[in-house]
Amino acid sequence: MLKAEGIDAAVLFDPLNLRYATNCRNMQVWSSHHMVRYAFVPVTGKVVMFDYGGALHLSAGNELIDEARPAKSWDYFGSGSRAEEHANLWAEEIADLLTQVCGKGAVLGLDRIDLLPLRALDRLHVRTVDAKGPLERAKSVKSPDEVRIIRDSMRVCTDAIAYMREHVRPGVSENYLLSLLNQYNIEHGGEYQETRGLASGHHTNPWFVEASEKIVEAGEMLVFDSDLIGPHGVFADQTRSFVIGDGRPNNEQRTNYALAYEQLQHNMSLLRPGLSFHDFIDSTWKMPEVYVPNRYAEIVHGLGFGVEYPLVYFPPDAPAYQYPGVFEEGMTVCVESYVGVPGGVDGVKLEQPVLITRDGPVSLSECPFELDYL
């Protein structure tokens, strides 16, 4: 994909791109906000991992990495008033490596960059371009091996959800329940959780209220979005909603659940290779107007080491934000649904990961829905 875009090599800072290109991890969350770890990845030639501090041994035996070097950083916490000087040293090493591996005049792609090192590359007359797009498109279609590890991660996530549900009872906190998802995930080879999307009762409407010390009560709706980075570094993303305790859902809860489930199933059924994003939008489930103000951010998003390309917006948002594209065989995506009346007590969120095949969507999760609510 880099070659098709006229890029000779890329320097990758984004921890998810590093993981995808090298399968070498080191402080993935911490390095997402400290640019102290990066890799030089040419179209042809040696891949060089620049790792933090004394961590060069992490690349030993990795067939995807040809050489490991100490990283150079200009982050202010480590460079202070010498940040520009250190950025210049970083740029000089990258420029020399680019010329050595790819030749003079080579084009360098960057997935993320700060101002100081970009200026330093400019002063050295290095031709730079944005590599984010080619990388996202390259990651969007999964190989059979990638699908296998996604299924593995989803199985751990589904089991983590079941473990958490065993401990749901009135009187415990949202934070306690969230911690159980993390506990099970980490104990079974997972890594961390990207968000705190677990809420109960009035915290479920509108969505995006994070887990807190709120005590869950019988009869409330519990809604959670797993957002777990599971085994292999794969993003295990699925959302379920259910009523706390032994009671049945009330009329509002039942209506919300039935509509959210209908929306999810309808939109999933549309997915097929060759379908354009805009044609998909035109065919999606028609949300009753009363629910539109609280709609979710998107209908579909890609799934891999995190939320990835593509992203497809709801009809009201498409004119301003939707870009062209088509679904492809081998894409793994999550289909989203949220239903909640503005000012209502509860909301229901559902989300299902699927693989797009030539015959349509195939579920990547066996986590059950509350079919008796329908």
Residue corresponding to tokens 């982050």: 75
- Under the banding of pLDDT at 50, 70 and 90, the label for residue 54 is confident
Measured distance CA(207)–CA(198) in Å, rounded: 10
Q: Report in angstroms the alpha-carbon separations of 169 from 27, 28, 216, 219, 271.
A: 35, 34, 8, 10, 37
Q: What is the pLDDT of residues 66-75, one digit of tens each?
A: 999 999 999 9
Tokens of 229: 């980075």
* Strand ranges inside the chain, DSSP E: 9-12, 38-42, 48-51, 67-70, 107-110, 127-130, 192-193, 198-200, 221-225, 228-229, 235-236, 239-243, 300-303, 307-312, 332-339, 348-357, 360-363
List CB contacts of 174: < 8 A, sequence separation 6 or more.
198, 199, 200, 203, 211, 212, 213, 214, 216
Kindly tell me if the per-residue pLDDT of 223 is higher than 90. Answer: yes
For residues 129 and 108, the answer to whether their CB atoms sit within 8 Å is yes
Measured distance CA(366)–CA(155) in Å, rounded: 8
- Under the banding of pLDDT at 50, 70 and 90, the label for residue 362 is very high
Helix then strand then coil, in percent of the chain rounded to 5, is 40, 20, 40
Measured distance CA(103)–CA(105) in Å, rounded: 6
| 152-170 average pLDDT score | 98
pTM of the model: 0.95
| 241-249 average pLDDT score | 95
The SS3 assignment for 308 reads strand
Across the chain, mean pLDDT equals 97
DSSP 66: S
Measured distance CA(150)–CA(302) in Å, rounded: 12
For residues 309 and 334, the answer to whether their CB atoms sit within 8 Å is no
Identify the structural domains of the chain with CATH numbers, from first to last: 3-139 (3.40.350.10), 141-373 (3.90.230.10)
Kindly tell me if the per-residue pLDDT of 53 is higher than 90. Answer: no
- Under the banding of pLDDT at 50, 70 and 90, the label for residue 218 is very high
Predicted local confidence at residue 247, as pLDDT = 87
Q: What is the pLDDT of residues 288-338, one digit of tens each?
A: 999 999 999 999 999 999 999 999 999 999 999 999 999 999 999 999 999
Kindly tell me if the per-residue pLDDT of 222 is higher than 90. Answer: yes
Q: What is the pLDDT of residues 183-192, one digit of tens each?
A: 999 999 999 9
Kindly tell me if the per-residue pLDDT of 373 is higher than 90. Answer: yes
Nearest-10 Cα torsion for 54, 59, 60, 62 = 180
